[in-house]
Amino acid sequence: TVLEVGCGTGRNLPYLQDAVGSNGHIFGVDVSERMLARSQALCERTGWKNVTLVRTDALDYHAPRMLDAVLFGLSYAVMQNGKRILNHAWSQLRAGGCAVIVDGKTMPGIAGRLLHPLVTLEMKATVLGDPDHNACADLRSLTDEVTVEEELFGAYFICQGRKGT
pTM comes to: 0.86
Residue 59 burial by CB count (10 A; 0-12/13-18/19+): exposed, middle or buried?
A: middle
Q: Which pLDDT value is given to residue 16?
A: 98
Domain that holds residue 18: 2-162
Instruction: Provide the CATH number for the domain around residue 133.
Output: 3.40.50.150
Domain count, the chain: 1
Q: Which of 3, 131, 141 is nearest to 62 (CA)?
A: 3
Tell me the residue length of the chain: 165
Q: Residues 53-84: pLDDT tens digits?
A: 999 999 999 999 999 999 999 899 888 899 99
For residue 55, what are the β-bridge partners? 30
Q: Residues 135-145: pLDDT tens digits?
A: 999 999 999 99
Q: Which pLDDT value is given to residue 78?
A: 83
